[in-house]
């Protein structure tokens, strides 16, 4: 890492002030006595489904990535999540790890209290070449500050220093080995200043050391903006991002279309899937990055995941729907796959599900492609999440078969199954549960590659504890 002690102390041109703060080597963060997720809802629906989406959202949203990373050097899977105070649903940024050698977890570290119950403020994680953990604390819009913290010792969660205060949303911090950080994120654009629409613009920043950052660079803004998901190829030599389109008028509840672009030089330049250079920012609805025009088909698009196959070609996982409101009236909702063959995009249907925000992760293994996703109806059907199921394809995503359920007879819906970066077979997927119809407690779970499900301890008596096996 280059010049770790250099702090940015002024405003960067083209964006909000980024403030470098002094080191806090002696400031040890408090520990919690267990793993409790945040419960959250968004947009009351004024019907029997109660909310547009809701539930246990410790690992929400999919636009935040990565939230878990396996470190071969430490033989631990580090992860962060949205926790909660015991007394009320107030968002805590939590950091912990699973020790693969001992099969235990420590008491999680309380990095900060975000003073909101909004799970859009959940944190993300990055690990640099030297093993330092970096936590990126998001904000939903511009009313709250955002932060970057760095661990004070390699592979340690005990102490963190705040190195940056700013405002950014939907954080996707990627560390490119030996090249530094490429930080994809969203910035909210207000009306005025010659702009015809407000909304969510996609941006990037870069840094060699995590302390000094380039000015924010706009990647895309058209209509009322975009959501994106991103992921690197296995060698981390290329990073791809898939994004949707929020029409004006209409906005995020009419999100549609599917786009993809990628960079092979840590964000210096971006190109289409077939290698054509892109002029940034993407500023028109009909653009070279467009994968499929779902707006013409009258369908909404909900992004889920992105992976690269053995030939280093991208695969996009997403859901299509007829409307944003919950319930069967906007079905069928199809979990879809778009696979780049080298010459064209090939589309296939994975499964039907009962809610737009049923989120799962895609795994590309040697002989099978796998999706772990809460497509089971669950105890609160037609609501966010459900029972977690395993879907498999043995013909590179052309056809899919449900091969089993990881959870059953649950009291609360399971939500937002997330894949760690470099996922280890013993800690393969991470998620939370929660009642989708009313506020509830929320537990956190992880599964191994064989489908065994473990619950993280909600209350710990000692410093370390073994997660509880709850299903296979």
Count of domains for the chain: 1
CATH number (domain holding residue 363): 2.130.10.120
**Does residue 10 fall inside a structural domain?**
no
Long-range contact set of residues 405-408: C-beta below 8 Å, sequence gap at least 24:
405/376, 406/372, 406/447, 406/451, 406/453, 406/471, 407/376, 407/453, 407/471, 408/376, 408/471
The CA distances from residue 467 to 39, 90, 111, in Å, are 21, 24, 22
pLDDT digits (tens, 9 = 90+) for 365-410: 999 999 999 999 999 999 999 999 999 999 999 999 999 999 999 9
Q: Which of 310, 297, 367, 365 is nearest to 336 (CA)?
A: 297
Residue 220 burial by CB count (10 A; 0-12/13-18/19+): exposed, middle or buried? buried
Residue 18 has pLDDT above 50, yes or no: no
Taking the C-alpha atoms of residue 101 and residue 115, their distance in angstroms, rounded to an integer, is: 36
pLDDT score recorded for residue 13: 33
**Does residue 16 fall inside a structural domain?**
no
Write the DSSP string, 21-43.
----TT-BPPB-SS--BPEEEEE
pLDDT score recorded for residue 190: 80
Please, which pLDDT band fits residue 25 given cuts at 50, 70 and 90? Answer: very low
**Does residue 12 fall inside a structural domain?**
no
**Does residue 297 fall inside a structural domain?**
yes
**Does residue 2 fall inside a structural domain?**
no
Vertex 100 angle, CA 392 and 171, to 5°: 70
Please, which pLDDT band fits residue 201 given cuts at 50, 70 and 90? Answer: very high
pLDDT digits (tens, 9 = 90+) for 338-364: 999 999 999 999 999 999 999 999 999
Mean pLDDT of the chain: 93
Residue 193 has pLDDT above 80, yes or no: no
Write the DSSP string, 212-233.
S-PPPEEEE--TTB--EEEEE-
Radius of gyration of the chain (CA): 21
Q: Domain range spanning residue 263?
A: 39-471
**Does residue 22 fall inside a structural domain?**
no
pLDDT score recorded for residue 196: 54
332 phi and psi, to 5 degrees? -75, 145
């Amino acid at each position: 890492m280059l010049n770790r002690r250099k702090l940015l102390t002024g405003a960067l041109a083209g964006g909000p002030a980024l403030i470098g703060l002094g080191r806090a080597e002696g400031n040890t963060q408090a520990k919690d006595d267990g793993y409790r997720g945040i419960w959250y809802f968004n947009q009351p629906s004024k019907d029997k489904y109660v909310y547009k989406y809701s539930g246990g959202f410790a690992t929400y949203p999919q636009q935040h990535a990565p939230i878990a990373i396996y470190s071969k050097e430490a033989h631990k899977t580090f992860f962060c999540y949205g926790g909660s105070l015991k007394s009320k649903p107030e968002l805590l940024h939590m950091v912990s790890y699973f020790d693969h050698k001992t099969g235990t977890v420590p008491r999680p570290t309380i990095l900060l209290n975000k003073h909101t119950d909004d799970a859009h403020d959940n944190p993300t994680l990055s690990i640099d070449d030297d093993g330092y953990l970096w936590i990126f604390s998001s904000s939903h819009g511009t009313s709250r500050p955002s932060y970057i913290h760095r661990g004070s010792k390699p592979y340690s969660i005990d102490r963190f220093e705040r190195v940056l205060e700013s405002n950014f949303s939907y954080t996707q911090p990627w560390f490119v080995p030996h090249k530094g950080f490429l930080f994809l994120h969203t910035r909210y654009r207000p009306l005025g200043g010659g702009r015809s629409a407000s909304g969510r613009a996609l941006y990037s920043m870069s840094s060699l050391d995590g302390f000094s950052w380039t000015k924010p660079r706009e990647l895309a803004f058209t209509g009322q903006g975009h959501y994106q998901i991103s992921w690197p190829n296995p060698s981390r030599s290329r990073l791809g991002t898939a994004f949707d389109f929020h029409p004006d008028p209409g906005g995020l509840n009419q999100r549609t279309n599917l786009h993809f672009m990628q960079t092979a030089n840590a964000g210096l330049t971006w190109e289409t899937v077939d290698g054509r250079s892109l002029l940034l920012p993407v500023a028109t609805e009909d653009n070279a990055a467009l994968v499929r025009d779902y707006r013409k088909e009258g369908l909404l698009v909900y992004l889920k995941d992105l992976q690269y196959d053995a030939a280093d070609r991208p695969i996009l996982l997403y859901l299509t729907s007829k409307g944003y409101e919950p319930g069967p009236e906007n079905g069928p909702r199809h979990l879809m796959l778009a696979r780049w063959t080298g010459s064209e995009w090939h589309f296939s249907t994975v499964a039907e599900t009962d809610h737009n925000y049923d989120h799962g992760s895609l795994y590309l293994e040697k002989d099978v492609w796998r999706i772990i996703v809460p497509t089971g109806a669950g105890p609160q059907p037609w609501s966010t999440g459900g029972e977690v199921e395993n879907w498999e394809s043995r013909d590179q995503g052309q056809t899919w078969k449900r091969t089993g359920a990881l959870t059953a007879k649950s009291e609360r819906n399971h939500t937002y199954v997330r894949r760690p970066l470099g996922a280890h077979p013993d800690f393969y997927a991470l998620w939370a549960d929660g009642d989708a119809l009313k506020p509830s407690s929320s537990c956190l779970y992880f599964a191994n590659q064989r489908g065994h499900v473990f619950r993280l301890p909600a209350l710990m008596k000692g410093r370390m504890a073994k997660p509880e096996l709850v299903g296979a």
